[in-house]
Amino acid sequence: MTALDMAARLPDIETLRQRCQAVAMLDAILSPDWESRYFSYTQDWGGFPCAQIRNGSGDDCFITFGPAGAFIRGFDHESSMTPWRVDPPKLWPGLVDNVPAPFAEFLTEPAFGFDGVFAATYCLWRQRNDGEWRTGPVDYAEFAGRPDPDGADQFLELLTDPTPHSYVDFALGYFEVQLDPRVVAHVYELNPLTEQLVRALNPDVGLHDIADDIDTSRYPTQCDAAPS
Residues 47-85: pLDDT tens digits?
999 999 999 888 999 999 999 999 999 999 999 999 999
Mean pLDDT, the chain, whole residue set: 94
pTM: 0.93
Quickly count: other Cβ atoms within 10 Å of residue 132's Cβ. Answer: 9
What is the per-residue pLDDT across 132-141, written as a single tens digit (0 to 9) for each?
999 999 999 8
Non-local (6+) Cβ contacts of 180 within 8 A are 200
Whether residue 227 is predicted with pLDDT greater than 60 in this model: the reply is: no
Q: pLDDT per residue over 9-51, tens digit each?
A: 999 999 999 999 999 999 999 998 989 999 999 999 989 999 9
Nearest C-alpha neighbor of 63 from the set 141, 130, 139, 120: 120
